[in-house]
A and B are shown apart, each in its own frame.
Chain A
Amino acid sequence: MNVYLLQVVNGIGIGMLYFLLAVGLSIIFGLLRFVNFAHGAFYLLGAYFCFQALQWGMNFWLALVVVPLLVALCAWVVEKVLLRHVYAQAHEFHILVTVGLALVLQEGVILVWGPLGDNVATPDALQGVVMWGSFIYPKYRLFVIGFTAVFALALWWVLEGTRLGSAVRAGSESTEMVSLLGINVFRIFSLVFALGAGTAALAGVLAAPIRGVEPFMGIEALGIAFVIVVVGGMGSFAGALVGGLLIGIVQSVMSTLWPEGARLMIYVAMAAVLLLRPHGLLGRG
């Protein structure tokens, strides 16, 4: 079978995970005008919590639900006690406070689980491969594509079809206007921050059986999430999807052409997009 086709499908799988990773960052930025440098750390927490839950004998499916909620709860608390106090300051302090938070979380993970990585078992039901004629593909990766697609739809519905979603979208246009209309903006800030962290953690849980866990996966993920948001356009849901898929496919196809340079090509792709469209593919400029 065509090896490039396989790599494109692989790329879609990776790309959907990248989308999950980036969409939270993008939504948080869109509403809060806040670059969350701790975003990768929430992904890291998701992966490690999943690892720990499985160690304790918890079912993977339960972990898939519980872990993102738990991380979202942590993020909600962090927003309340920490971030709320720096909103009024210059953006370098937004960045600094989240960089500090990321360091604390990463070092905390090393403190609890040690500096070395670990493997996470694929759930029993999804072991092995699927075969359609000459097309062979791991079941788990197929599940990841399907699951993230459903989740993306649900998230899109939340943002486009619910009252919370309209408040979030209106808030990204003008926070002041929304609060004048009698909506408690700070409550929405907390919710959106928790939602963003929760999606990052979900990406972490889903990625753990594929790539294992190690304490520095958070920083790597942060870099990739930034690239996707830059490529797709800040604050854009569709941009995160397009950017995630594009970057996933580029990385996957390049890994057969030039394995050492596969991750380098992600950033080259970013530079190319920026040359053509400085505000990203779907950015509003």
Chain B
Amino acid sequence: MTRLTTHFQLLLVIAVALILPLVMRSGSLATEVLIYAIAVAGCNLLLGFTGLLSFGQGIFFGLGSYTAGILLTRLGLPLPLALLAAVVVGALAATLVGWFAIRQRGTYFVMLTLAFAQMFYFLAYSLPNLTGGDNGLLDVPRPPISVGGLELMALKTPWQFYTLVAVCFVIVFWLLLRVTRSVFGRTLLAIRDNEERAAAVGYNVRLFKLAAFAISGAVTGLAGAFLAIMTGIAPLSSIEYHTSEMILVMTVIGGTGNLFASVLGAAFYVLFSDWLSTLWPRWLLLLGMLLIAVSLFMQRGLWGLGERIWLAVRRKPPAGDIDAPSATEPRP
């Protein structure tokens, strides 16, 4: 198995952020890819690095959307503060949900996260004064980033906003890569692989899981806030079951246990669905079939598929072709 260094993964992430504007025409679609990549990385931290399958990522995503929406529309707060608040709210909600859910394991845990996702959906639904209920929060503004009246960065056009999201995207991935490489991240891996042993060695397994949950919630809240600011609305659907499902699906399609795979999963899903939904309104049917196929034949996701192809190419014996080995040499 090819293990990529943190630096190489970070380079890939930066490359994606730089290449998307060159190859894509729609700035908002490119921004959407990065936004979901952030959310998917948060889910991957739980599923791939801690072994927790959370069906509740939509909670944090939706709360991030609502937090940013409410602060920008009602209070007119500066944009960075609204983003920060979304991160904090996401982390707090994740701590709350995590505190309940982490007491259970395996499938019970999964069901609990789904039940909480429904709970927050109906909470948002039953507080129309705050969330706009069925209609969602409308007319979320996109003010420029300014300090003391001096405008530092306008966010009017889609590509201007893309720049802000891209910077945050790289920072988030850099931080998450650091987290997964740290002692903390290694402990999470130990918990994923053998929870009893990690507990026996003396780690407070629950506390570590809770911390992973909080980080995941913070990251996902940020993504939700970005989407609300980009689209100008914080809809009820952002906190729906489907958002949780979508984030999870992107995570598994990309592949778990490797953060860059999250970018692949998000990009694949966003672009695939954008393309298919123009062709056929019932494209979710195809997505369902894809999911079944992934669980049957491609369990390590797109990343795993790429890795398999790469290894197959590399392992091909250079029969009689000894003169040209460099073609099959791994790139630096």
Contacts and interface: CB of A to CB of B under 8 A. Distances in A.
Same complex for A and B? Answer yes
Interface of A: 29, 33-35, 82, 85-86, 89-93, 95-97, 99-104, 106-108, 110-111, 219, 222-223, 226-227, 229-230, 234, 258, 260-261, 263-264, 266-268, 270-271, 274-275, 278-279
B243 to A, nearest CB: 12
B110 interface: yes
Contacts of B104: 278-279
Q: What 10 A-B pairs have minimum CB-CB distances, sorted nearest first?
A: A100-B291, A103-B288, A267-B119, A107-B285, A104-B288, A223-B118, A264-B122, A100-B292, A97-B295, A93-B295
Contacts of A103: 284-285, 287-288, 291
B296 interface: yes
Contact of A278 (B103, B111, B128, B291): B103
Contacts of B126: 258, 260-261, 263-264
Q: Most chain-B Cβ atoms within 10 A of its Cβ — which of A86, A100, A104? A: A100
Contacts of A226: 111, 114-115, 118
Contact of A110 (B100, B108, B282, B294): B282
Contact of A82 (B110, B119, B282, B292): B292
B107 A35 contact: yes
A168 B70 CA distance: 52
B6 interface: no
Interface string B255-290: 000000000000000000000000000101101111
A162 B295 CA distance: 35
Contacts of A95: 53, 107, 110
Q: Most chain-A Cβ atoms within 10 A of its Cβ — which of B108, B115, B282? A: B115
Contacts of B282: 107, 110-111
Interface of B: 47, 53, 100, 103-104, 106-108, 110-112, 114-119, 122-123, 125-126, 128, 241, 245, 248-249, 252, 282, 284-285, 287-292, 294-296, 299
Q: Is the interface of A mostly helix, strand, loop or mixed?
A: helix
Contacts of B285: 103-104, 107-108, 111
A102 B111 contact: no
Contact of A100 (B108, B117, B118, B290): B290
Given A91-B53, A111-B282, A99 B118 contact: no
Contacts of B123: 264
B295 A223 contact: no
22 contacts: A92-B252, A96-B249, A96-B294, A97-B295, A99-B245, A100-B289, A100-B294, A103-B287, A108-B285, A111-B282, A219-B241, A223-B117, A226-B111, A226-B118, A260-B125, A266-B122, A267-B115, A267-B119, A274-B100, A274-B112, A275-B100, A278-B104
Nearest to A233: B108
Contacts of B245: 99
Nearest to B128: A260
Contacts of A266: 122
A60 B292 CA distance: 35
A89 B106 contact: no
B296 A86 contact: yes
A100 B295 CA distance: 9
Contacts of A91: 53, 106-107, 110
Contacts of A258: 126
A82 B296 CA distance: 8
A222 B245 CA distance: 13
A224 B287 CA distance: 24
Contacts of B125: 260, 263-264
Contacts of A106: 284
Contacts of B110: 35, 91, 95
Contact of A230 (B108, B117, B289, B292): B108
A34 B106 CA distance: 11
Given A103-B287, A107-B282, A230 B112 contact: yes
Contacts of B291: 96-97, 99-100, 103
Q: Most chain-A Cβ atoms within 10 A of its Cβ — which of B118, B285, B295? A: B295
Contacts of B112: 230, 274
B304 to A, nearest CB: 13
Nearest to A283: B108
B295 A267 contact: no
Contacts of B284: 103, 106-107
Contact of B299 (A82, A89, A229): A89
Contact of A267 (B47, B107, B118): B118
